Amino acid sequence: MTAHEIDYRIYGEEMQYVEIELDPQEGVVAEAGSFMMMDDGIKMETIFGDGSQKDSSFLGKILGAGKRILTGESLFMTAFYNTLSGKKNVSFASPYPGKIIPIDLTEFRGKFICQKDAFLCAAKGVSVGIEFSKKLGRGLFGGEGFIMQKLEGDGMAFVHAGGTMSKKVLQAGEIIKVDTGCIVGFTQDVDYDIEFVGGIKNTVFGGEGLFFAKLQGPGTVYIQSLPFSRLASRVLASAPKGGGKDRGEGSILGGIGDILDGDNRF
């Protein structure tokens, strides 16, 4: 194996974290900001890119870091190494309520494609790169744009799904239609495209967007019930307006009161 072979355990229900057990000299890489806790004896190091060592030259490191900018991530990742003789643990937490999904890349022929902000951490040696969409429609309207993340290698990786996670194993030719924001990731054989919702009423009044994501098997698809973008929009919509005044969530005077107070300006 080129990636480090790590053991792990996932704790919690709604707000999960993954505890990774490192043997001596083993390591794990993680997104900046996902670290939770670690045992004494683990060394933390900030690195350019993913540290997969495919190209250890200075130019290779710069290119690897540049790819991460395209996916909207930080230039840097954090690596954690066990520098002592015994087993040590390091833990990483999910950024919002949901599920942590362990991905054994050897089960998916060394490659898994996921949305840009789904990656949490992986065994040292796993490559975290970019996957360009080859279809114009998917790139423009697919929710994730032209670029998604790809995880490559032969080790364990961990991605995060918001809310409840659904795993769908598609047979050859089998199709599932999904809200574009609800996709967590899928295996490399899945054909991913977008489809217009259709119909004037659906388009104007449906409230579900203009496009579905159409995924065709064979392959495995992971779907989340609560994308972070949806969670954030609901929080913003429910936030008290007018300096924090709250008349009650179900109050009929809520909107009228805003007008009387002058909070709604035309």
Neighbours of 149 (CB within 10 A): 25
Rounded to an integer, what distance in angstroms lies between the CA atom of residue 225 and that of residue 168? 13
pTM for this prediction: 0.76
pLDDT of residue 194: 79
pLDDT of residue 59: 57
Residue 64 phi/psi, 5-degree rounding, is -65, -40
Q: Are the beta carbons of 49 and 77 closer than 8 angstroms? A: yes
Name the pLDDT band for 259 (thresholds 50, 70, 90).
very low
Residue-wise pLDDT for 69-127, tens only, equals 555 556 678 899 999 989 999 999 988 889 999 999 999 999 999 987 889 999 998 98
Q: Is 62 helix (H, G, I), strand (E, B) or coil?
A: helix
Alpha-helical segments (H) within the chain: 58-70, 136-141, 200-205, 228-238, 253-261
For domain 7-235, the CATH architecture is 4-Layer Sandwich (3.60)
